Chains A and B, each alone.
Chain A
Amino acid sequence: MKFDTIIIGGGLSGLTCGIALSQKGQRVAIVAGGQNSLHFNAGSMELLGNVDGEEIAHPVEAAQRLQPNHPYRKVGIDHLEELAQEAKTLLDKAGLTMSGNAKENHWRITPIGVTKPAWLTLEGLATVASSQLPWKAVTLVELEGFIDSPLQFVETNLAAQGVQVKVARIAPAVLTQARRSASEMRATSLAKILRNHQALASLAAEINQVTTADELVLMPMFLGLDDDALAALQAQVKPRLAFLPTLPPMVPGVRIATALQHYFKMLGGTYLLGDKVVDGLIEDNTMRHITTAKLQDVLLKADNFVLATGSFMSGGVVADFTRIYEPVFGLDVEAPANRADWTLAEVMDDQPYMSCGVATDDTLHALKEGKAVKNLFAIGSVLSGHNAAVQGDGEGVDMLTALAVAHRITNRQ
């Protein structure tokens, strides 16, 4: 079976690359081993949030100070702004309206109520212009029985910034009786119930009972999975609403994942969900074909291959008791040789293992035994050279390396 390009990994990076290539008329297949980590995304994209321990307001400018092996160096610091704009346009075409730009960060509110710098945030979610909250008072909506939002943390963290917090409890019958099993009273489940207009109207009525028109109301995002429920709810309530992400799986993240998968398929892309690449043949520094667990002896061939398998969490790199390795093709990995050097004592420190990943040349070709594989690129979190948790650059690296590689592939034709 032959495609122009085959992408291994169906997360943000793989989908971005697949969409960009399909837009250029390529026949693309993505092999996705189950659903992706966008399901744990709070609805924001980070480009660069922290350099040398300092929170960043102007990411493009601050990128000049990044370490020499950072993946942004391989897409070109001078191209960051242009690629970031292209990424935003791609999201917009997939039906995802996001606010923000690459020159200036805004600050998002995390599920526990602290602020973090962000590049793009999905429409409807609460954002502020700086790390200092501008609010005097807010009302937090607490839904009875809802298990996906630690509102006491939010309350404490907002209060620590001097915000007066009022908690408004609601218990709309349509939602509280919705789950006989309390363990399933979660954001994505409620969002399915709230696709129904009557259910949404009853939620609006409850909110109107406990709030007034002059309040700013923050509420967990348990609606708007794949519909316009956020806007519809806003139209029916008196106060202004701003939404907070919940614990995973998060409604905004699932919304992004779904929209990108739909858009890729709409462009003619083949999305092989629930399959897994098990092997590949590399000869003369060229990837000839790959095989998957489900397609077995049907070889998947392509002119170019892209590895977008993610980091440790997604199995793109694996650590055992002696080594850190790339499990599919045995590609070169950048990691400290000595196991003791993988970690630091304090969990919140800049843990060295977080920067481990697949080694690439300057144009993001993956390396095997020191040599670049001519038609195999690596993109996104599988790459070495950065720590997304500390540097706040996860989605930026995912999308920008994907776009840079898509350009290299189409320019090569």
Chain B
Amino acid sequence: MAATTQTTFASANNFEQCLKCSICTVYCPVAAVTTAYPGPKQAGPDGERYRLKDPKFYDEALKLCLNCKRCEVACPSEVRIGDIIQRARMQHPQRPKLRDVLLANTDVMGTMATSMAPVVNLTLGMKPVKAVMNATLGIDKHRTFPAYASQKFETWYRRHAAQTQESFSKHVSYFHGCYVNYNYPQLGKDLVTVMNALGYGVHLLEKEKCCGVALMANGMHEQAKRQGETNMQSMRKSINELKRPIITTSSTCTFTMRDEYDHVLGIDNRDVRDHLSLAARFIYQLIDNGEVKLAFDPNFKMRVAYHTACHMQRMGWAIFSTQLLRMIPGLELIELESQCCGIAGTYGFKKENYENSQAIGAGLFQAIKEADPQYVATDCETCKWQIEMSTGVPVLNPISILAQALDVEKTKQLNQN
């Protein structure tokens, strides 16, 4: 008998707490559409028992996991099934294909592309180019690359916003992410508009790197870890020296930096985690605590269907976005049943995943068509691409909707102090 009795669980990602109840399998969107994926229980805790004995039990089918974490949301025993699968993939790396390196290096691709945006956008949209990418790189020909902006958000910020930010009495740092920087600077501009109206100056981090989610999904964990450490260092400076909390507008970047840095990459982020929040949550809390007030444009009217992105579901934060949207008097909100759209970042761009990706999203696309909204709102940029491509309905981040609905001048007056 052991000298002491173990009374707490000690295994990584709550592996030992799996009861083998199989509830996770019921909620796996991948297992529901393909026979090639063994499902989260088998790929996660069951397979892990074998892998711990001998790494040769590693199953290549694990790459079919799209890391939606819906298994973890369903699990009654708090087993981090998705994290177990991600870690297994990390421990059995494969040399990434050229395509995966290109898809994963959002920073490099973005910097190159934004400098030549009109040419790149035109080229990537051409049928022959798509056919070549399909054949040589394995990027599915049905996909349209999100258009690159001709001016990076950071460039816009430095030219048009940076000078005025110090004049505010309260401040936040903004982790804008690759998507805002290279593809859709408007969301970043909207964020600056909203936060300024609430009396907050918005600042860039000293150094921002891609959060690394695409690198992790494509087997480049070492690079992801280096980028993660850089981000944590910049955020520590923002929190400790500048006393600025960090806000974001991407649910996946937020989830990756708050949870996967620790659970998957082993980055110690404990001192940063609670100071890093999604803008929707940050703003909701300010309102809930009576610290800021909003004034809305009385003529604003919009019919919106809210889609809960997978990582938003995992964080449990969809309530902040929907509560915020409900505050807008002219907005009619339909809450869609929470289900995966199928894109999962770079997953759906790969030729071998295209069919599964669309089959997974079919239920959501149908629900959107039935709801027939003017816009879909969601906190995830890759869901935006997938939903716009698959339904034709335009998609907006809740912060952009807020920026449109606010009476900015009146809100500014309400929050002057």
Contacts and interface: CB of A to CB of B under 8 A. Distances in A.
Q: Do A and B bind each other?
A: yes
Interface in B63-103: 72-78
B16 interface: no
A93 B141 CA distance: 46
A411 to B, nearest CB: 29
B35 interface: yes
B313 interface: yes
| Interface magnitude class on chain A | 35 or more
A321 B6 CA distance: 11
B313 to A, nearest CB: 7
A33 B76 contact: yes
Q: Which 8 A-B pairs have the closest CB atoms?
A: A294-B316, A34-B76, A274-B73, A181-B38, A275-B316, A35-B74, A188-B26, A184-B39
B123 interface: no
Given A249-B22, A249-B26, A272-B319, A180 B36 contact: yes
A1 B337 CA distance: 22
Contact of A248 (B21, B31, B36): B21
A170 B21 CA distance: 27
Interface string A295-324: 111100000000000000010000011000
Contacts of B313: 273-274
Contacts, number: 97
B189 interface: no
B316 A1 contact: no
B374 interface: no
A285 interface: no
Given A39-B23, A184-B38, A296-B274, A314 B46 contact: no
A181 B41 CA distance: 12
| Interface magnitude class on chain B | 35 or more
B319 A179 contact: no
Interface of B: 5, 7, 21-23, 25-27, 31-32, 35-36, 38-39, 41-42, 46, 72-78, 274, 281, 284-285, 288, 313-317, 319, 323, 335, 337-338
Contact of B323 (A1, A181, A273, A276): A1
Given A35-B76, A184-B31, A189-B39, A274 B314 contact: yes
A177 B25 CA distance: 18
Given A180-B35, A184-B25, A314 B285 contact: no
A221 B39 CA distance: 21
Contacts of A35: 23, 26-27, 74-76
A40 B23 CA distance: 9
Contacts of A321: 5, 7
Given A249-B21, A249-B25, 7 more contacts: A181-B38, A188-B25, A189-B39, A254-B26, A295-B316, A295-B317, A297-B285
Contact of A270 (B41, B75, B319): B319
Contacts of B41: 183
A281 interface: no
A192 B33 CA distance: 9
A298 B285 contact: yes
Contacts of B22: 186, 188, 248-249
* Residue of B23, B27, B39 with most partner-chain A CB within 10 A: B23
Given A34-B76, A273-B73, A1 B42 contact: no
